[in-house]
Amino acid sequence: MKLKHSVIYLAFIAIPIIPAIMGTFNYLQNLELLKSSWYSLWTQITLFYASFFYAPLIGIYCSYTWRLEHTHNNWNHFMSMPVSIVDSYLAKLLCIMKVTILTQLWISVLYFIGGKLAGLPGIFPPEIVFWLIRGTLAAAAIASLQLLLSMVIRNFAIPIGIALVGSIAGTLMTNADLGNFWPYSLMMLGMNSNRNENVLASMSDTVSYFISVIVFFLLFFGIAIWQLKTKDVRS
């Protein structure tokens, strides 16, 4: 109900267009080097999307979700509702995941449109769909972290800035093969960001990846619930 007719959908529509345009333009400017058709276009779009836009977008969703509770006396209303803390927090988290899934569907549409404008034949490979799903699952860990940050930080923009810095650091961690130890790297690994070949091709890499997603999700979710039950976050 809170997100119905919300301006948050403007961000959902507009912001993914930016990395799609940047990635497609970058692909067209480097055709002599990028010779893997749809895969090459994917490397360029995800280079910008997963590294700079995906986590901050989730940060926007999370900050907006807590915005009402951080104004006036609405925190008291939230804490006194006849609903358990776990259910209330989980409802927010599921709401964020709903919008995130829509965002992933939208970037896939933009990717397809970019490919057609670039003159690529047919449709994109089925592996891309799997990579999108993996990236969406990774978003659960990011959303769990960002929702916690937006809960304890009243400022709307600071958690979004943290997400951007975390994404940049995540690129460095991924390049150093330490992506599983940094939550913001998980979306890059899951979406196979800026890679033609599957970086999680081996069973051990896949298992490690999903363990990291689950551990980070439960960690930040647990901290948030503990914070709500014991600290009663100030508003």
Task: Specify the pLDDT at position 113.
Answer: 96
Write the CB contacts of 200 (distance below 8 Å, at least 6 apart in sequence). 134, 189, 190, 192, 206, 209
Q: Which is nearest to 182 in space by CA: 207, 152, 145, 155?
A: 145
Strands (E), 91-219: none
pLDDT per residue, tens digit, the chain (235 aa), is 666 666 777 888 999 999 999 999 999 999 988 888 999 999 999 999 998 999 999 999 998 888 877 776 676 667 767 778 888 889 889 989 999 999 999 999 999 999 999 999 999 999 999 999 999 999 999 999 999 999 999 888 999 999 999 999 999 998 888 989 999 999 999 999 877 788 888 899 999 999 999 999 999 999 999 988 886 555 4
Task: Specify the pLDDT at position 72.
Answer: 63
Where do the domains of the chain lie? 8-230
5: left (phi over 0), alpha (psi -120 to 50) or beta: left
Output DSSP code: residue 234.
-
Judge whether 118 and 41 are in contact, CB under 8 Å: yes
Judge whether 190 and 209 are in contact, CB under 8 Å: yes
pTM over 0.85: yes
Judge whether 101 and 54 are in contact, CB under 8 Å: no
Task: Specify the pLDDT at position 88.
Answer: 83
How many whole angstroms separate alpha carbon 70 and alpha carbon 73? 8
Task: Specify the pLDDT at position 77.
Answer: 67
Task: Specify the pLDDT at position 84.
Answer: 83
Task: Specify the pLDDT at position 235.
Answer: 45
